[in-house]
Amino acid sequence: MARLNAVARVTAVATAAAAVVAAAAPRAAAAADLFPQTPAEYANFVLSSMNESVSPCDDAYQWACGRWIAANPLPPHKNSVSRFYGAMKKRMQDALHPLLTAAPLMDTKAGMFYNDCLADRVDDLSVLSRFGPVLRALVTDGSYGSVVTATAVLHSNSGGTPLFEPDVSDSREEYGAVLLELDRPGLGMVRDGFRGRTAHFRAVQTAYKQMIASFVTLAGDAGLLGGAAGDGITGAGWATAEEAAEAVYAMEERIQKWKTAGYKAYKADDTQPKYNMMPLATSPDLEFPAAMLALLQVAAPKGAAMVKYPVYFREMNAWLKTAVVGNQNKGRAVLQAYFAYKVTREFARAELIGPTATAVYWDFRQVVKQTRRPTPRRARCFTRVADRFPIAISGVLINNFLDADKVAFARGIAKDIGVAHGELMAASTWMDDQGGGAEEARLDGRVCGRQHAQRQGGRHERHCRHPG
């Protein structure tokens, strides 16, 4: 179990990173670069963290990890660090950087994405202009079709995934196909942030509203608000950016309530599954996502979708028809401001509209993470590449949902996934091995410490974390 827990934490990043690295001619980062390779090395790896001046029966965590914590002060951009995962991720980043910034990988989509993220930019909102016509149509037209079109443009142009989240579900065992999956959208703040029950989350709320106001202002400058390109915030009917920000915040709270309603309906009815296979063409609750997918010419396998909490989609669709199409309580202006905020935030997070917007995003993130500095740009760009190009996907899924360039890229390196995962599993077996070396015997002699750590809910070396 310990070995599986350790692998589970590293596999997500390691699999994507190892796959991208494996596409290049230079040797990929192997497990030998990331893990101890003999039982003796592993035992020393453990012992180097321990503070043997502390009794394990008094403070098991300091006994197990004290020397490592003392030797690794908390970086200003972190609120905690983990020796095992943190060191592995940094080595992956160090291996990826020279490969993604040189031929041949720099010319792949992953390489271009990474280098675009790293490039220094001046403040320039012109890249947002592609969203202006469809967002302004929310006000000037306000039809159901205009909402579908605007949502489709955001989904297909890296403008975020507002209102719902499309994904895929490997349902071959149950239904014989990889199916489209429809889920509730992610929001800009965790649920506890909306509740604001602690001083920290109240500070997060304040910072979140400040970020929304800044991004709404930028969206107005980019021509995304009102009925004409030059309307700006006041021309869109908002007295101030703060008033628009409150409306956007209320929209996120509304979406959170829809999400909760879907969950409560599932919990209240034992016969209702969490995921429901529903036909797109004939399910009234799925009218909106079905219309958007049809506009994008996405043909869902079997004409159906795996839908998580259908009640959410019913509540969302009803609001769109009454508040936006019917224009109740400034519904059109609210949805326009919300979409404009989502677009601007996504491009700021991707570092594509200049340092001012990116700084706004990271000012908020520092409040959330309680750190003194933003995450370094190279680490941010690495994470975005790993998130954007998760290669461990099936060939059927690639054929159905990815464009031709991504297909060629993914097929060329997917074969290395099994090898990379196998190396990680093999290396991690040292965590559970029992050997006869002097170092291992010394480690195994700490019976009281091991038992005490387990009673306290703690783990050993691979879970050493700097608590901040």
Ranges assigned E (strand) in 76-164: 81-82
Return the structure tokens found at 198. 């602690």
Element (H, E) at 273: none
Residues 303 and 231 in one domain: yes
Cα angle, residue 188 at apex, residues 154 and 213 outer, rounded to 5°:
85
Query: Which one-letter amino acid corresponds to residue 429?
Result: T
Residue 8 is assigned to a structural domain of this protein: yes
Q: Is there a cis peptide before residue 467, judged by omega within 30 degrees of 0?
A: no
**pLDDT the model gives residue 457:** 36
Last residue of a domain, one of 329, 353, 377: 353
Edge-to-edge strand list for the sheet holding 165-171: 165-171, 177-183, 304-308, 275-279
Residues 202 and 256 in one domain: yes
Residues 159 and 91 in one domain: no
Classify residue 305 by its DSSP letter: E
Query: In CATH, what number is assigned to the domain containing residue 149?
Result: 1.10.1380.10
Element (H, E) at 251: helix 241-268
Q: Is there a cis peptide before residue 104, judged by omega within 30 degrees of 0?
A: yes
Last residue of a domain, one of 330, 353, 376: 353
Residue 398 is assigned to a structural domain of this protein: no
pTM of the model: 0.72
Last residue of a domain, one of 353, 371, 404: 353
Residue 402 is assigned to a structural domain of this protein: no
Residue 121 is assigned to a structural domain of this protein: no
Residues 173 and 292 in one domain: yes
Contact 181, 308 (CB under 8 A): yes
**pLDDT the model gives residue 462:** 40
Residue 196 is assigned to a structural domain of this protein: yes
* Dist. CA 193–CA 127, nearest whole Å: 31
Residues 317 and 227 in one domain: yes
Residues 92 and 131 in one domain: no
Q: Which of 397, 418, 330, 408 is nearest to 138 (CA)?
A: 330
Residue 389 is assigned to a structural domain of this protein: no
Residues 199 and 345 in one domain: yes
Residues 89 and 136 in one domain: no
Residues 298 and 163 in one domain: yes
Residue 370 is assigned to a structural domain of this protein: no
Which residue in this structure is represented by tokens 């795996």? 306
Cα angle, residue 270 at apex, residues 268 and 274 outer, rounded to 5°:
85
Contact 114, 24 (CB under 8 A): no
Return the structure tokens found at 81. 């660090």
How many domains would you assign to the chain? 2
Residues 153 and 250 in one domain: yes
Contact 143, 327 (CB under 8 A): no
Range of the domain at 310: 126-353
Phi first, then psi, for residue 12 (nearest 5°) are -60, -50
Residues 205 and 320 in one domain: yes
Mean pLDDT in runs of 10 for the chain (468 residues)? 29 31 35 50 71 80 81 82 68 75 80 84 91 96 96 84 83 75 86 87 94 97 94 95 97 92 82 80 92 86 86 94 94 97 92 92 93 88 70 32 42 39 41 44 44 37 51
Residues 262 and 218 in one domain: yes
Helix (H, G, I), strand (E, B) or coil at 171: strand
**pLDDT the model gives residue 239:** 97
Burial 118-153 (b: 16+ CB within 10 A, else e): beeeeeebebbeebbebbbbbbebbebebbbbbbbb
Residue 361 is assigned to a structural domain of this protein: no
